[in-house]
Amino acid sequence: MLTGQGCPATMLSIKDALEALEGKWKLLILFSPSSRPKRFRQVAKDVEGITDKILSKELKALEANQLVKREVFSTFPPTVEYSITPHGRSLEKVLAELHYWGLAHRKTIIGK
List contacts with a second copy (CB under 8 A): 1-6, 10-20, 22-24, 27-28, 30-32, 34-35, 46, 65-66, 84, 87-106, 108-110
With respect to a second copy, which residue has the nearer C-beta, 28 or 80? 28
In 3D space, the residue among 14, 17, 12, 71 whose CA is nearest the CA of residue 40 turns out to be 71
- Beta carbon of residue 51, minimum distance to a second copy (angstroms, whole number): 16
Distance in Å from the first CA to the final CA of the chain: 28
- Beta carbon of residue 18, minimum distance to a second copy (angstroms, whole number): 4
- Beta carbon of residue 52, minimum distance to a second copy (angstroms, whole number): 19
* Alpha-carbon gap, residue 26 to 1, rounded angstroms: 25
Q: Are 88 and 67 in contact (CB under 8 A)?
A: yes
* Alpha-carbon gap, residue 49 to 73, rounded angstroms: 28
With respect to a second copy, which residue has the nearer C-beta, 18 or 71? 18
With respect to a second copy, which residue has the nearer C-beta, 27 or 54? 27
With respect to a second copy, which residue has the nearer C-beta, 20 or 80? 20
* Alpha-carbon gap, residue 5 to 23, rounded angstroms: 26
- Beta carbon of residue 36, minimum distance to a second copy (angstroms, whole number): 9
